Chains A and B, each alone.
Chain A
């Protein structure tokens, strides 16, 4: 069965510093992987997705993620944090076959320190 683990429910970084949010997945076959962001009182917005075309995926707002099959990881990074990046981030996994069911991680709240 698929599952997603996000390490750290809260992460704090200084403005301008590197952002690294960790995600590990469990799936019997290489899956689809997603990162979503949720700003306060809003729904989830797709940041980026991995569908096997390239292991390094670039998303919106300067974020990118690298699929590492050997480590079953899909960590999210951004070279320089901005105050507007403060939000909750969710990693999600979906199998390549069958239905559209997506399993979400528990989320990581990113705090940006001035």
Chain B
């Protein structure tokens, strides 16, 4: 099976712009979670989608949003970018229906805001 894929892998944006990141989960996985990873804060949970519905949300401002499509692919959007949004954004998928709770991660998108 193909793993979790994320596009693009690297992105450079300017303050005030918006950005959309994409994640394709492992085939058959219906749950997709997003994380922000920075050297100072570590791994922080952004949100989780299951069957096109947001099921969990972390403590991030409304500038961070996401959605999931019927094929389980997910996108996250960050509007009005700030310098502090520079981070590695990781997507993870899991097979919730079997009760397996481990998550499988993609390689991440490295976002740099200048």
Contacts and interface: CB of A to CB of B under 8 A. Distances in A.
Interface residues of B, number: 24
B72 interface: no
A100 B94 contact: yes
B67 interface: no
B20 interface: no
Interface string B34-45: 010000001101
Given A43-B4, A44-B90, A100 B101 contact: yes
Given A43-B105, A43-B108, A107 B42 contact: yes
Contacts, number: 57
Interface in A55-77: none
A107 B41 CA distance: 10
Contacts of B108: 42-43
Interface in A84-114: 90, 94, 99-107
A99 B48 contact: yes
A46 interface: yes
A25 interface: no
Interface of A: 32, 34, 36, 41-46, 49, 51, 90, 94, 99-107
Given A100-B56, A104-B42, 16 more contacts: A32-B102, A36-B105, A41-B110, A43-B92, A43-B107, A46-B102, A46-B103, A90-B43, A99-B56, A100-B31, A100-B33, A100-B55, A100-B96, A101-B45, A101-B56, A102-B45
